A and B are shown apart, each in its own frame.
Chain A
Amino acid sequence: MRRYLPVLCALLLLSLLALSAAVLCGSTGCLRPSASADKVALLLSLRVPRALTAFAVGGALALSGALMQVLLRNPLADPYVLGLSGGSAAGALLAMLAALRLGWPVQAVTAPGALLGAGLAMLLLFGLVRSSLRHLAVSPLLSSQRLLLTGVMLAAGFGAVISLALSIAPDAQLRGMVFWLIGDLDDARLLPLAALVLLLALLWSWRHAPSLNLLARGDAFAQLLGVPVRGLRVMLLCVAAACTACAVAMAGTIGFVGLVVPHGLRLLLGNDQRLLLPACVLAGGAMLALADLLARTVVAPVQLPVGVVTALVGVPLFLWLLARSRP
């Protein structure tokens, strides 16, 4: 384990640098020592929660993506693949529509709606795959297929609900709803909850990283070597779902971080979960904080949706990593 400490320290340093950059810079330029105390206090009160929100959301998405890739034994899995994000997004949009109809403030209902939707999606998923979670498949490739197919179907269903909600939404609200869907880091009210969930999830996954290393190589394989696979899989799904739900409730469905960060780190650092999982939290958080900084500053005062930035920067970066790794 000791050989991993330098890498983790470097990533921690990188995260701190990314966070400070995100706090010190913004649409009005970077803070100078000469700025008045009032101005500094004002900007910090706006930027610190936002930078931390970005960090927590990015870390949660990357961790959840890495866990899903282990659970589904598929390097292409991401936090959204099992329909959890679809559920939360559908919940959030329906809550927005209901709030408009009832005259409630839209901002207040989005996050609860998203959490409710994620919970519902989770219950549906568990209800549908209960029997296959109990079964231990000997072939590692077959075992996750049922779960994956169920999740993909749920995601498709929620996708239809999302389209429906968008198509019946009043024109004035449509823009806000679409921006929420792409990802929006304005709202920091859920930050304490998300930080707590992320911390617990990280502690859990780090503690079980040796078991997850075996689980990634097959259910039967892990069980034979002493891992209580059935319980571990259920917990793994719950932890990943909690991370995803928090991230989506806070910031909408920001794409890409959950897929590209774990996968990119896997190409760079190898596939040892003991290193990969904490590294994902740090790198995912740093990446989203920097992406948000770009989104705020590139064409200031216009703010780009951060999801667009993550994809625009992430796609070429990832393709480069892929090309550079040994075929």
Chain B
Amino acid sequence: MPSPPVLLQARQLTVRAGSRALLQGLDWRVQAGEFWCVLGRNGIGKSTLLHSVAGLHPFEGEVLLQGQALSAFSPLQLALQRGLVLQHQQDAFSLPVLDAVMAGRFAHGDGWGGPGANLSLAREALEQVGLAHLGTQDVLRLSGGERQRVALATLLVQSPQLYLLDEPTSHQDIAAQLQVMQLLQGLAQQGKAVVASCHDINVARRFASHILLLDGTDARAGSVDTVMQPAFLAAAFGCRFDQLASQHGVVFVAR
């Protein structure tokens, strides 16, 4: 069986925030069908890394999407390759939720709205994130968690190859967290690639297939079992971890 295509490749990637180097010389490959969680302390560069590979933030080194340099894509072509849910959703103007979600279809040439056929895509996406009942609401009236799921629905209708998500579970209640992670896992199983930054290491361990653990300017990338060792986690987070067995596998408890 041929190995699945490499959707994202970083070579000697160095990312800075101002003068501070966050990541240095990162080599990283994401293949179709993989679900990566990016773990690490606050301010370690998880968001900046996602912004860089999405083309929002300058970087040194190489980022390749499907083997082509990031700079070779136009914004429109890029939108068909990768999508990113930003950490914070802020809107200044009111807008019905369905229209907000339809924004994801821009790169597919649906800016003028066609004969309404694609609105069903938006409805479907809202249903997938559990917000089917909010289609006609104003985005300004939604809660933080709901807005985040509207952004996720927007990413679903954008339907890129590579899904990037900056803390998709941060504003979600526990049930919604599971729903979101299951959805992302499903996307990876359909042959997409998913990269999500995350703070809950147990949720990450349970749903992700691979982990990128950022530790200072160093990083450890690999399958869940190879990276999620108490020693590595302790070094990255600066606290010790106990492992408890549960019916869903190992659970880490920090102490």
Sample of 25 A–B contacts (CB below 8 Å): A73-B93, A74-B92, A138-B51, A138-B56, A140-B91, A140-B92, A209-B111, A211-B111, A213-B111, A216-B92, A217-B93, A218-B86, A223-B56, A224-B83, A225-B103, A226-B78, A226-B80, A227-B106, A228-B76, A229-B75, A270-B95, A270-B96, A271-B95, A272-B99, A274-B112
User: Do B112 and A1 touch (CB < 8 A)?
Assistant: yes
Q: Mark B33-61, 1 if CB is under 8 A from A, else 0.
A: 00000000000000000010011100000
User: Do B74 and A224 touch (CB < 8 A)?
Assistant: no
Count of chain B residues near A, Cβ 8 A: 33
From residue A197, how far is it (CB to closest CB) to chain B in Å? 25
Q: Nearest CB to that of B95 among chain A residues?
A: A271
Which residues of chain B come closer than 8 Å to A227, judged between CB atoms? 75, 106
Q: Name the 8 nearest CB pairs between A and B, nearest first.
A: A210-B111, A226-B79, A226-B107, A226-B76, A271-B93, A228-B75, A73-B92, A225-B106
Q: Does B168 contact A (CB under 8 A)?
A: no
- Given A1-B113, A213-B103, A224-B88 contact (CB < 8 Å): no
**Among B56, B84, B88, B91, contact of A217 (Cβ-Cβ < 8 Å):** B91
Given A227-B106, A272-B99, list of 12 further CB < 8 A pairs? A141-B90, A217-B95, A223-B55, A223-B56, A224-B56, A225-B83, A225-B158, A226-B78, A226-B107, A229-B75, A271-B93, A271-B94
Q: Mark A268-289, 1 if CB is under 8 A from B, else 0.
A: 0011101000000000000000
Which residues of chain B come closer than 8 Å to A274, judged between CB atoms? 112-113
Q: Mark B88-125, 1 if CB is under 8 A from A, else 0.
A: 10111111100110011011000111000000000000
Which residues of chain B come closer than 8 Å to A228, judged between CB atoms? 74-76
Which residues of chain A come closer than 8 Å to B107, judged between CB atoms? 225-226
Which residues of chain A come closer than 8 Å to B75, judged between CB atoms? 223, 226-229
CA of A217 to CA of B94, assembled, Å: 10
CA of A1 to CA of B115, assembled, Å: 8
Q: Nearest CB to that of A219 among chain B residues?
A: B56
User: Do A139 and B90 touch (CB < 8 A)?
Assistant: yes
- Given A211-B111, A224-B84, A226-B79, A136-B92 contact (CB < 8 Å): no
Q: Nearest CB to that of B115 among chain A residues?
A: A2
Which residues of chain A come closer than 8 Å to B56, judged between CB atoms? 136, 138, 220, 223-224
**Among A1, A75, A138, A211, contact of B92 (Cβ-Cβ < 8 Å):** A75
Interface of chain A residues 128 through 176 with chain B (CB within 8 A): 136, 138-141
Q: Does A233 contact B (CB under 8 A)?
A: no
Q: Nearest CB to that of A228 among chain B residues?
A: B75
Q: Mark A284-326, 1 if CB is under 8 A from B, else 0.
A: 0000000000000000000000000000000000000000000
- Given A229-B75, A274-B112, A138-B86 contact (CB < 8 Å): yes
CA of A204 to CA of B127, assembled, Å: 36
Q: Mark A59-100, 1 if CB is under 8 A from B, else 0.
A: 000000000000001110000000000000000000000000
Which residues of chain B come closer than 8 Å to A210, judged between CB atoms? 106, 111-112
From residue A271, how far is it (CB to closest CB) to chain B in Å? 4
**Among B79, B91, B96, contact of A225 (Cβ-Cβ < 8 Å):** B79
From residue B65, how far is it (CB to closest CB) to chain A in Å? 14
Q: Mark B2-42, 1 if CB is under 8 A from A, else 0.
A: 00000000000000000000000000000000000000000
User: Do A139 and B92 touch (CB < 8 A)?
Assistant: no
CA of A210 to CA of B104, assembled, Å: 11
Q: Does A266 contact B (CB under 8 A)?
A: yes
Interface of chain A residues 17 through 55 with chain B (CB within 8 A): none
Q: Nearest CB to that of B79 among chain A residues?
A: A226
Which residues of chain B come closer than 8 Å to A126, judged between CB atoms? none
CA of A213 to CA of B113, assembled, Å: 12
CA of A226 to CA of B113, assembled, Å: 16
Q: Nearest CB to that of B88 among chain A residues?
A: A139
From residue A143, how far is it (CB to closest CB) to chain B in Å? 11
Which residues of chain B come closer than 8 Å to A73, judged between CB atoms? 92-93
Which residues of chain A come closer than 8 Å to B76, judged between CB atoms? 226, 228
Which residues of chain B come closer than 8 Å to A179, judged between CB atoms? none
